[in-house]
Structure 1
Amino acid sequence: MKAIILFGHGARDVRWREPFDRLTGLWREQHSSTPVELAFLEMMQPTLDEAFASLASRGATQITVIPVFFGQGGHLRNDFPVLLAACREKYPQIALSATPAVGEDLAVLQSIVDFGARAL
């Protein structure tokens, strides 16, 4: 079974996660046959390992991690690969892949331009 993890930074203010919860809800509405979990780098739960455990317990055999970051900063270049390696080691039976940061996708950038144009 294929599954995805939406991976964000995390923040002290619990309200910061509200868009991530909405994003997860949209995924579930539009792709109900593919499980999704949220995970955060720091300050929020669940962690990447906890999200993996949840999906593994539900029978996931392929997990794609989508970093919901604007760009490939230090966390994605340094911390993220270490976390992925730990998950690969702990869950060798699961095929793991990761996408680039969503903010590097032209369609995402264009959506932001369109948002700005609508705000004028």
Structure 2
Amino acid sequence: MNQQKPTLLLIGHGSPDAAGNGEFIQFAADLAQHLGVATQPCFLELAEPSIGAGVALCVAQGATEILALPLFLGAGRHQKRDVPNLLAAAQAEHAGIVVRYGAPLGPQLHLVGVLAERAAAALATSRQAVSDEATALLLVGRGSKDPQSNAELARLARLLSEIHGYAIVEYAYQTVVPPDVGQALGRCVRLGAQRVVVLPYLLFAGFVRDDIVNQARLAQEHYPQIEILVGQHLFPHAGLLAATAFRYEELRDGMVQMNCASCSYRQHGDDGEHHHDH
């Protein structure tokens, strides 16, 4: 007797920007085709369907086992606390279903390769003759109150530098924690950069990307002597599909491992109570 495959519930953050949500929905369709698995997209907030509605749709289509995969770049509060709580509430409404929860994408080598190609594409548009030694890459993430999530950006920058041999690779955050784009660009200049490629470490289009582009524009006015280029975000590169497929296969095969040693929710949550139940 053939056993029904689990349904994949792909969880995006959600955005007030329709273009970003549209890219996520398209990615979910691409992933379903890539994996050959029934895939239901849903959003944590700001867009529909919600996580609870996504689970309900899976059940209505006959799912008895749901693999819930958070399409987040890093492990922060949403992935560690908010999504598990919402999944638990949804599971409680549907007796008999099994929900298994996966890990965020993290600084995978697949994504290092995507960033290297995004940098190469941006450099191909350069109008100035600048040596590789005087070219810097500036990796820019969203920024988080979670130290572990912020640290992963630094790790990714180091991987990008060592694997692909860039002379200068720095990192910055769009908001929440320093350095921002302007501050990090200043460091690149002090290190001798004459050209900087700003790489938005983001999944999809939206406000965050727009703000990174605006910060780069303002920095260009402050540093007119250098060339500042802005690369594309991760979607729709095939490497993003490969990175997500890896997390799906890990979840499917029961190999998910959470890195809890440095988790800020290990002892207490924002309200002082224990929330480390993932």
Q: Gaps spanning 5+ residues in structure 1: where?
A: none
1:111 Cα deviation from its structure 2 partner: 3.7
* Structure 1 counterpart of 2:26, one-letter code: R
Residues 52-73 of structure 1: CA deviation (Å, up to 9, x unaligned) = 1111011101111111111111
| Amino acid across the alignment from 2:68 | V
Once residues 85 and 23 of structure 1 are traced to their aligned partners in structure 2, the CA distance between those partners, rounded to angstroms, is 25
Shift of 1:29: 2.4
Asked if structure 2 preserves the Cα contact closer than 8 Å seen for 1:9 and 1:40, the reply is yes
Q: In 1, Cα distance between the equivalents of 2:88 and 2:110?
A: 27
1:79 to 79, 82, 99: 82
Aligned counterpart, 2:16: 12
1:57 maps to 60
Deviation at 1:101, TM superposition (A): 0.7
Describe the superposition over 1:50-103 as per-residue Cα deviations: whole angstroms up to 9, x where unpaired. 11111101110111111111111111122112111112211231111111112x
Runs (4+) off by over 6 Å: none
Q: Which has the larger share of helix?
A: 1
Structure 1 residues 4 and 110 mapped into 2: Cα distance closer, same or farther (>3 Å)? same
Larger Rg: 2
Q: Percent identity?
A: 26
- Please give the secondary structure, in 1, of the residue aligned with 2:29: helix
2:44 matched to 1:30? no
Partner of 1:92: 95
Does the alignment pair 1:113 with 2:103? no
Q: Secondary structure at the match of 1:7?
A: strand
Question: Partner amino acid for 1:73?
Answer: G
> TM-score, length-normalised on structure 1?
0.85
Q: Deviations over 1:2-58 (max 9, x none)?
A: 1001101111111111221221121232344x2111111111000011111111011
Q: Which whole-Å CA distance do the structure 1 matches of 2:81 and 2:109 have between them?
A: 26
Q: After the TM superposition, which of the residue ranges 23-32 and 2-11 deviates more from structure 2?
A: 23-32
- Give the CA deviation at 1:110: 2.9
What RMSD over aligned residues (CA atoms) do the two structures have, in Å?
A: 1.8
User: Is the contact between residue 35 and residue 55 of structure 1 (CA under 8 Å) also seen in structure 2?
Assistant: no
One-letter amino acid of the counterpart of residue 106, structure 1: Q
Q: Secondary structure at the match of 2:99?
A: strand
User: Shift of the alpha carbon at 1:105?
Assistant: 5.5
What's 2:240 paired with?
none
* Cα distance between partner residues in 1 of 2:113 and 2:48: 28
